[in-house]
């Protein structure tokens, strides 16, 4: 089997471009986990709701995509706060298994609700955007724009977490909750801000994913497992690790997809993940014991 | 300034403090000493709001604070340097100090507070970009005290500041605490190092199995059987 090397290069480039958006999802999920110690199983299902919001605003209301994208950020942040107040707050001190069941239950609720409301149709926003060809590689704007915005968002998140009081407090709470309350920060307030930021990132990811993907009620299943895999591979709660892992996984999927088949790309990614769990259970950046 | 009256507190079924009363006046340094498990840490945790008392009153500058959560109590000017220091180990020294000034009122005077803390503990200025968790025990204790000062408190609660430090460092630390005192801060300190702490404070209380057994001026207590009792129990 011979493959034109240009396809491999194109696949590698596509892997990087996809990695940007995956990083956004992984960092959002990781941020919430780092602070609250709870994995939002339904995280990507919030992305799905945001994508529906954009879809209806653009196709039914005729809004421009950027305006719908801004609404998506707000929808994401509000959903994040709602999930925290309605689902997480009552079970904050419950055993981890109950927390998983609750956020997992939310996933089924959201999928079913979306199916009832909007049927299982795949809906996509048709954007007529240019595409460039450089050295035989196609670079469509539908991939370049989401990648560029993702990277800017990751930088913005980094600056928020390192330069602002509230961002530093978010990192501090994930290290010592009680000590942070002695500094005068209400833990619940920090949780709400964290959930809002995590939700905002889901909203942004939704706005960027809709450039390339159709939305349907089971969209979460498409990117949810991938996002968890990236977070665990990077080391749960480890932001730098998650960022690197996003690109590893998306490269494997993109290149494996071209070399063998799309399905096999995912299979290989999961095999690498399982092997890594034996070799480095603490994530790629974990120090060896 | 700080008045604790008939406080009873504990964890679950267990009662750690029984009708404990104490008072700290403005500008005073007061110690609470006693053997392990006497309830000293619990007492400080009740004052800073980490534990709600079951009964009793806690007033600070005339405001009733019993049962308020910790993040509200700090606002009134009570800074707690907890047992084991409880720094944010992965944050830098500078970020730890920044978190000390988290409250809006403290944030407004951040630069001024930071200069004061760096003047008091020059080593923190040298290490500002280092992760807190990678510093020595003595430096960590200075950072913990510095972080508490960043909130511009009226009173500082120190829980076992000498814990885990080598004897030479303990002497240096007490010198530093003396300097903090000279800056005009009111101090309530809990210590196992009774002899040293009695040289530092004006008055002391002996806490034993959750009850105050003795109290008095430090100089007088040092001459009595107090030191032996503090170690061994009355």
Pairing of strands B55-60, B2-11: antiparallel
Determine the Cα angle at B91 with ends A95 and B162, to 5°.
Answer: 90
Of the candidates A14, A24, A18, the one whose C-alpha atom is nearest the C-alpha of residue A44 is A24
Inform me whether the C-beta atom of residue B94 falls under 8 Å from chain A C-beta atoms: no
Mean residue pLDDT of chain B comes to 93
Whether B43 shows a pLDDT value over 90: the answer reads yes
What percentage of chain B reaches a pLDDT higher than 90?
A: 79
Mutate to test the interface with A, among B71, B85, B143 (most CBs of A within 10 A): B71
With a CB-CB cutoff of 8 Å, which residues 53-112 of chain A face chain B?
A: none
Inform me whether the C-beta atom of residue B155 falls under 8 Å from chain A C-beta atoms: no
How far is B45 from chain A, CA to nearest CA, in Å? 10
Whether A62 shows a pLDDT value over 50: the answer reads yes
Q: Which residue of A has its CA nearest to B85?
A: A179
| Beta bridge mates, B15 | B10
What percentage of chain A reaches a pLDDT higher than 70?
A: 98
How far apart are the C-alpha atoms of B14 and B200, rounded to whole Å? Answer: 33
Inform me whether the C-beta atom of residue B77 falls under 8 Å from chain A C-beta atoms: no
DSSP secondary structure letter of residue B85: -
- Nearest Cβ partner for A182 among B48, B89, B98: B48
Q: Could you tell me if the ipTM is greater than 0.85?
A: yes
Inform me whether the C-beta atom of residue A169 falls under 8 Å from chain B C-beta atoms: yes
Q: pLDDT tens digits for A156-171?
A: 999 999 999 999 999 9
Q: Which residues of chain A have a CB within 8 Å of the CB of B147?
A: 183
Whether A1 shows a pLDDT value over 70: the answer reads no
Q: Which residues of chain A have a CB within 8 Å of the CB of B79?
A: 182
Q: Which residue of B has its CA nearest to A183?
A: B100
Inform me whether the C-beta atom of residue B52 falls under 8 Å from chain A C-beta atoms: no
Q: pLDDT tens digits for B84-131?
A: 999 999 999 999 999 999 999 999 999 999 999 999 999 999 999 999
Q: Which residue of A has its CA nearest to B78?
A: A182
CB contact under 8 A, A169 and B102: yes
CB contact under 8 A, A183 and B80: no
Q: B93, B127 in Cβ contact below 8 A?
A: yes
Inform me whether the C-beta atom of residue B90 falls under 8 Å from chain A C-beta atoms: yes
Whether A288 shows a pLDDT value over 70: the answer reads no
- Within a 10 A sphere around the Cβ of A190, how many other Cβ atoms? 22
Q: Which residues of chain B have a CB within 8 Å of the CB of A179?
A: 82, 86-88
Output the pLDDT for position B72.
Answer: 96
Q: Which residue of A has its CA nearest to B98?
A: A165
Inform me whether the C-beta atom of residue A187 falls under 8 Å from chain B C-beta atoms: yes
Inform me whether the C-beta atom of residue A170 falls under 8 Å from chain B C-beta atoms: no
Mean pLDDT of A246-254: 94
Pairing of strands B211-217, B203-208: antiparallel
Whether A241 shows a pLDDT value over 80: the answer reads yes
Output the pLDDT for position B222.
Answer: 76
Q: pLDDT tens digits for A19-50?
A: 999 999 999 999 999 999 999 999 999 999 99
Whether A248 shows a pLDDT value over 70: the answer reads yes
Mutate to test the interface with A, among B68, B96, B98, B99 (most CBs of A within 10 A): B99
Q: Which residue of A has its CA nearest to B153?
A: A183
Q: Which residue of A has its CA nearest to B45?
A: A182
Q: pLDDT tens digits for A93-104?
A: 899 999 999 999
How far apart are the C-alpha atoms of A200 and A28, rounded to whole Å? Answer: 8
Q: pTM of the entire structure?
A: 0.90
- Within a 10 A sphere around the Cβ of A144, how many other Cβ atoms? 18
How far apart are the C-alpha atoms of B85 and B70, rounded to whole Å? Answer: 16
With a CB-CB cutoff of 8 Å, which residues 212-231 of chain A face chain B?
A: none
Q: pLDDT tens digits for A109-125?
A: 999 999 999 999 999 99
Phi, psi of A286 (to 5 degrees): -65, 140
- Within a 10 A sphere around the Cβ of A239, how many other Cβ atoms? 21
Q: Which residue of A has its CA nearest to B95?
A: A168
Output the pLDDT for position A187.
Answer: 92
What distance lies between CA B170 and its chain's CA centroid? 15
Q: A34, A161 in Cβ contact below 8 A?
A: no
What percentage of chain A reaches a pLDDT higher than 90?
A: 80
Whether B233 shows a pLDDT value over 80: the answer reads no
- Nearest Cβ partner for B151 among A165, A172, A183: A183
Inform me whether the C-beta atom of residue B152 falls under 8 Å from chain A C-beta atoms: no
Maximum mean pLDDT: which of A5-9, A41-45, A237-241: A41-45
Q: pLDDT tens digits for B143-170?
A: 999 999 999 999 999 999 998 888 888 9
DSSP A175-239: H-HHHHHHTT--HHHHHHHHHHHHHHHHHHHHHHHTTT--B-TTHHHHHHHHHHHHHHHH-TT-H
Output the pLDDT for position A289.
Answer: 41
Mean pLDDT of A196-204: 98
Output the pLDDT for position B234.
Answer: 53
CB contact under 8 A, B71 and A184: yes
Output the pLDDT for position B36.
Answer: 83
How far is A286 from chain B, CA to nearest CA, in Å? 14
How far apart are the C-alpha atoms of B116 and A199, rounded to whole Å? Answer: 40
């Amino acid at each position: 089997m011979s493959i034109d090397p240009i396809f491999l290069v194109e696949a590698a480039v596509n892997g990087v471009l996809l990695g940007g958006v995956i990083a956004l999802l992984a960092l959002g999920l990781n941020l919430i986990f780092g602070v609250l110690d709870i994995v939002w199983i339904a995280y990507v299902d919030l992305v799905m709701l945001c994508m529906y919001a954009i879809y209806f605003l653009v196709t039914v209301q005729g809004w421009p995509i950027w305006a719908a994208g801004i609404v998506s950020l707000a929808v994401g942040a509000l959903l994040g706060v709602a999930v925290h107040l309605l689902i997480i707050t009552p079970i904050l001190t419950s055993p981890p298994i109950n927390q998983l069941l609750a956020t997992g239950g939310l996933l089924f609720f959201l999928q079913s609700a979306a199916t009832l409301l909007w049927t299982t149709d795949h809906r996509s926003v048709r954007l007529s955007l240019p595409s460039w060809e450089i050295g035989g590689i196609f670079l469509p704007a539908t991939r370049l724009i989401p990648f560029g915005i993702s990277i800017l968002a990751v930088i913005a998140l980094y600056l928020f977490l390192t330069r602002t009081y509230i961002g530093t407090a978010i990192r501090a709470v994930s290290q010592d909750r009680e000590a942070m309350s002695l500094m005068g920060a209400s833990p619940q307030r920090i949780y709400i801000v964290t959930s809002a930021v995590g939700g905002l990132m889901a909203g942004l990811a939704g706005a960027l994913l809709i450039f390339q993907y159709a939305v349907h009620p089971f969209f979460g299943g498409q990117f949810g497992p991938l996002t968890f895999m990236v977070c665990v591979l990077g080391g749960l709660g480890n932001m730098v690790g998650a960022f690197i892992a996003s690109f590893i996984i998306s490269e494997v999927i993109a290149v494996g997809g071209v070399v063998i088949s799309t399905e096999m790309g995912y299979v290989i990614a999961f095999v690498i993940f399982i092997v890594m769990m034996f070799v480095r259970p603490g994530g790629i950046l974990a120090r060896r014991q | 300034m700080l008045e604790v009256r008939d406080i009873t507190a504990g964890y679950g079924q267990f009662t750690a403090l029984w009708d404990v009363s104490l008072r700290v006046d403005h500008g005073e340094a007061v110690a609470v000493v006693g053997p392990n498990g006497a309830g000293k840490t619990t007492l400080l945790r009740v004052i800073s709001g980490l534990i709600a008392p079951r009964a009793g009153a806690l007033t600070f500058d005339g405001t009733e604070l019993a049962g308020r959560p910790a993040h509200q109590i700090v606002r009134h000017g009570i800074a707690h340097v907890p047992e084991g220091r409880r720094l944010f180990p992965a944050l830098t020294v500078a970020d730890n100090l920044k978190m000390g000034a988290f409250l809006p009122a403290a944030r407004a005077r951040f630069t001024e507070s930071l200069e004061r803390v760096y003047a008091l503990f020059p080593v923190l200025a040298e290490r500002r970009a280092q992760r807190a968790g990678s510093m020595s025990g003595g430096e960590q204790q200075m950072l913990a005290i510095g972080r508490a000062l960043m909130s511009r408190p009226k009173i500082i609660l120190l829980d076992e500041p000498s814990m885990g430090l080598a004897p030479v460092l303990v002497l240096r630390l007490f010198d530093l605490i003396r300097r903090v005192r000279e800056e005009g801060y009111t101090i309530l300190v809990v210590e196992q190092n009774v002899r040293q702490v009695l040289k530092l404070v004006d008055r002391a209380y002996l806490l034993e199995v959750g009850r105050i057994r003795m109290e008095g001026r430090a100089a007088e207590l040092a001459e009595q059987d107090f030191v032996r009792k503090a170690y061994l129990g009355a």
